């Protein structure tokens, strides 16, 4: 407990007259949208709300709330952030992207703990970058993290067991059959390489304590069915590879999984869901026991604007398309009417933005 053991003259209780553990019990139940107000009460409260104790307490007691952040690119090619206001069912502009990332392409984005990380990227006139910055949601500020061991552009990034994995991508004049692992506790990266890892990867998920990457010979139209970018891949055929960090081993996965992974993916309660955008939009679920794909239901073409991205908060899936048009699916209440899923939508923006990545960050 921060300051809990300091009983000298400099000690200041969180709430006068209450033990700190009781004060934390009360304050931790304040909804996240009011945390900025708590930070204005006193330095003691600000230190508490911005500290790790607060974050861990809310997570351990199932009090943390996840907000959805969207990294986008506007019609002038500049990167920008938007935050989903779930209560008002609308998107609103969020704190600006750092200047060094404004014009970069191929930026990787991932959430870990209470921070949102931006990695690498490149410009037409510059090689791939090794820079890493993170946004701390509790302090509402950006800070620089340790640089990647290898500069990367168009890599994928996943969080697993408290670490970040930056996989594949393009380096300075070459493709990368390698990955970097980030330990936030030591603020350091380690590099690994394996010829099995294809440099160009379409998508990735963390599932069953492993990292799964989708790569293969596919070409996507970034304005139509693309869920990452419109580039051809060097792999002779579509493949899914799984990496087990505990064994440091990559292995090829059953072809049945490959055949159905044809769109953006998300994991909910240990189950893999994919949005098939090849003919309309249809949510598919991977059944690991029988090794086949099952249709959950179709989404109205009036609501979705492909290419879409998926992000999950609890058992709710957000399908986020062009101009941040959003369809929200509650899997606990999912039902079909004539094959169409029952869901609700959030209106798109009036401005032209393309979605690069969507992440959920909980505090």
pLDDT digits (tens, 9 = 90+) for 140-190: 999 999 999 999 999 999 999 999 999 999 987 677 899 999 999 999 999
Are 30 and 63 contacting, i.e. CB atoms less than 8 angstroms apart? no
Q: What are phi and psi of 47, to 5 degrees?
A: -60, -40
Sort 247 into a burial class: Cβ within 10 Å, 0-12 / 13-18 / 19+.
exposed
Radius of gyration of the chain from Cα atoms? Answer: 21
Are 222 and 231 contacting, i.e. CB atoms less than 8 angstroms apart? no
Tokens describing residue 264? 């953006």
Tokens describing residue 11? 């000690």
Cα separation, 197 vs 239, in Å, equals: 11
Its pTM stands at: 0.90
- Opening angle at CA 357, ends 161 and 101, nearest 5: 100
Tokens describing residue 120? 């690498």
Domains of the chain: 1-64 (1.20.1280)
Helices (H), 8-112: 20-27, 35-38, 43-50, 52-60
pLDDT at residue 250, rounded to an integer:
95
Where the chain has pLDDT below 70, the residues are 1-9, 173, 216-236
Cα separation, 32 vs 38, in Å, equals: 10
Helix (H) or strand (E) holding 256: helix 255-260
- Opening angle at CA 299, ends 278 and 231, nearest 5: 30
Q: What are phi and psi of 44, to 5 degrees?
A: -65, -45
Q: Coil, strand or helix: which one is 292?
A: strand
Are 241 and 253 contacting, i.e. CB atoms less than 8 angstroms apart? yes
pLDDT at residue 9, rounded to an integer:
56
Helix 20-27 and helix 43-50, axial crossing angle in degrees, nearest 10: 70
pLDDT at residue 97, rounded to an integer:
85
pLDDT digits (tens, 9 = 90+) for 279-291: 889 999 999 999 9
Tokens describing residue 329? 């699916």
Are 92 and 83 contacting, i.e. CB atoms less than 8 angstroms apart? yes
Cα separation, 32 vs 66, in Å, equals: 9
Cross-strand pairs, 9: none
pLDDT at residue 338, rounded to an integer:
73
């Amino acid at each position: 407990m921060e300051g809990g053991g300091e009983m000298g003259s400099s000690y200041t209780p969180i709430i006068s007259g209450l033990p700190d553990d009781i004060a934390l019990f009360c304050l931790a139940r304040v909804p996240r949208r009011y945390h900025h107000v708590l930070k204005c009460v006193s330095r003691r409260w600000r230190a508490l709300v911005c500290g790790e104790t607060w974050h861990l307490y809310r997570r351990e007691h199932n009090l943390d709330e996840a907000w959805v952040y969207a990294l986008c690119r506007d019609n002038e090619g500049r990167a920008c952030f938007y935050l989903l206001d779930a209560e008002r069912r609308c998107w609103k502009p969020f704190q600006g992207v750092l200047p060094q990332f404004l014009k970069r392409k191929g930026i990787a984005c991932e959430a870990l703990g209470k921070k949102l990380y931006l990695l690498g990227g490149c410009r037409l006139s510059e090689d791939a970058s090794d820079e890493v910055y993170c946004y701390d949601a509790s302090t509402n500020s950006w800070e620089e993290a340790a640089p990647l061991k290898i500069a990367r552009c168009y890599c994928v990034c996943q969080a697993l067991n408290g670490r970040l994995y930056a996989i594949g991508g393009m380096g300075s004049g070459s493709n990368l059959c390698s990955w970097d692992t980030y330990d936030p506790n030591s603020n350091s990266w380690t590099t690994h390489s394996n010829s099995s890892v294809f440099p160009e990867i379409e998508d990735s998920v963390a599932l069953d304590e492993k990292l799964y990457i989708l790569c293969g010979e596919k070409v996507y139209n970034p304005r139509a069915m693309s869920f990452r970018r419109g580039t051809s891949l060097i792999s002779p055929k579509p493949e899914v590879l799984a990496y087990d960090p505990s064994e440091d081993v990559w292995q090829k996965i059953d072809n049945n999984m490959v055949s159905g992974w044809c769109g953006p993916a998300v994991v909910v309660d240990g189950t893999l869901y994919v949005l098939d955008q090849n003919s309309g939009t249809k949510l598919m679920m991977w059944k690991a026991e029988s090794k086949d794909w099952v249709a959950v239901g179709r989404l109205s073409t009036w609501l979705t604007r492909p290419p879409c991205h998926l992000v999950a908060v609890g058992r709710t899936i957000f399908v986020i398309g062009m101009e941040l048009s959003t369809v929200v699916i509650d899997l606990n209440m999912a039902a079909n009417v004539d094959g169409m899923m029952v869901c609700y939508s959030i209106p798109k923006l009036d401005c032209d933005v393309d979605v690069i990545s969507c992440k959920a960050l909980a505090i």
